[in-house]
Amino acid sequence: MALSRRGFLAATGFVAAGTALSGGAVPAFALAPMAGAPIPGAIRRKVGSVEVTALLDGYIDMPPDFLVGADGATVAALASAAHQSPGPRRTPVNAYLVNLGDRLVLVDAGTSTSMGPTLGQLPAALAAAGVGPAQVDTVLITHMHPDHIAGALTPTGQALFPNAELVVTEADYVFWHDDSVMNQAPSEFRSFFLGARNAAAAYAGRLRRIAGEGQAVGSIRSVPLPGHTPGHAGFVVESGGEALLIWADTVHLATYQFARPDWSMSFDVDPQQAAQTRRRIFDRAAADRVMVAGMHMPFPGFGHVVREGSEYRFVPAEWPYAL
């Protein structure tokens, strides 16, 4: 039976009036205490026959003045268009669990306790996905910044994943282990070098270094995305004619960087190269119509890139209604 809006409102109004006139009892509302904490972030979808689960480690409040070359008027206009304030953006830290069927692969590991109380939720998200650290076979690290590799360690500095191989890019390993580079870095960034080295040392007996574009593990391919760090990389998951490009830190502030891909971050090792890489991978994702996901995209981070002239737009993927 078709029911018009007017008919629906009339019907519901009649029922409410009838209940009041008849002296019927008002139904009780079941009360429950506020939870006070979010549900652990774990959202799963399929790429062909492969299961990919987005895992939320937490968030960072990142001010737009971290953007290189941004102007206040454009920042304010883009924020307003997105129904946001122009102040700090709440930026997630995501990781992705890839179940290949014969092995379980984690792409990035979050922060552990290295970056404050709003982060470090990856173990809870893994548990919500029904996975324990001992089940993970491989941890692929997109780059060795603390919000990507520190979570490979426990708070006491031990390897969190007792059976996993840790895979890092050759260029990033060399960069973060270069004493001359560390000694020239601003003091606030020297802990990044020590953290990267500590994580690599904890997995010394099962550390693998990869270079270039090619097979990383199983059907997952690595894609160099230099600029953010020298060895910054993404990973492509392919199965059954479908693909997902996990592009790591190509985007930090989605509100601004799709419209202004030339705006890099002040903590990019090479901001100009990062901008060139971002535009190149935006063009590739838009032309190939491939699904993307990112470590700082609004959780769960899955979606598509659309090119609009010299700008781009992100189209979030719909909820995966079925697997």
Q: For 82-114, what is each residue's pLDDT tens digit?
A: 999 888 899 999 999 999 999 999 999 999 999
d(CA 304, CA 316): 6
Q: What is the mean pLDDT of residues 18-22?
A: 47
Tokens found for residue 261? 């891909």
Amino acid at 254: A
d(CA 105, CA 96): 8
- CA dihedral (281, 286, 288, 290) in degrees, to 10, reads 80
d(CA 108, CA 138): 10
Are 108 and 95 a contacting pair, CB within 8 Å?
yes
Question: Is the Cα dihedral 217, 222, 227, 231 positive or negative?
Answer: positive
pLDDT given at position 1: 47
Decide if pLDDT at 23 tops 90. no
Q: What is the DSSP string of 159-206?
A: BS-TTPEEEEEHHHHHHHT-HHHHHHS-GGGHHHHHHHHHHHHHTGGG
pLDDT given at position 134: 98
User: Does domain 48-316 bear CATH number 3.40.980.20?
Assistant: no
Q: What is the mean pLDDT of residues 157-165?
A: 98
Decide if pLDDT at 269 tops 70. yes
| H or E element, residue 3 | none
CA nearest 265: which of 284, 251, 282, 255? Answer: 251
d(CA 101, CA 86): 44
Enumerate the H helices of the chain as residue ranges.
Answer: 5-21, 72-81, 122-128, 146-149, 170-176, 179-184, 190-202, 254-257, 271-288
Q: What is the mean pLDDT of residues 67-83?
A: 94
User: Of 31-40, 59-68, 131-140, 304-313, which range is least confident?
Assistant: 31-40
Domain ranges of the chain: 48-316
CA nearest 205: which of 171, 243, 163, 246? Answer: 163
pLDDT given at position 21: 45
Decide if pLDDT at 2 tops 60. no
The percent of residues in the chain predicted with pLDDT above 70, rounded, is: 91
How sure is the predictor about 8, in pLDDT bands with cuts at 50, 70 and 90?
very low
The b-or-e profile of 34-61 (16+ CB within 10 A means b, else e) is eeeeeebbbbbbbbeebbbbbbbbbbbe
User: Of 146-155, 182-191, 262-271, which range is least confident?
Assistant: 182-191
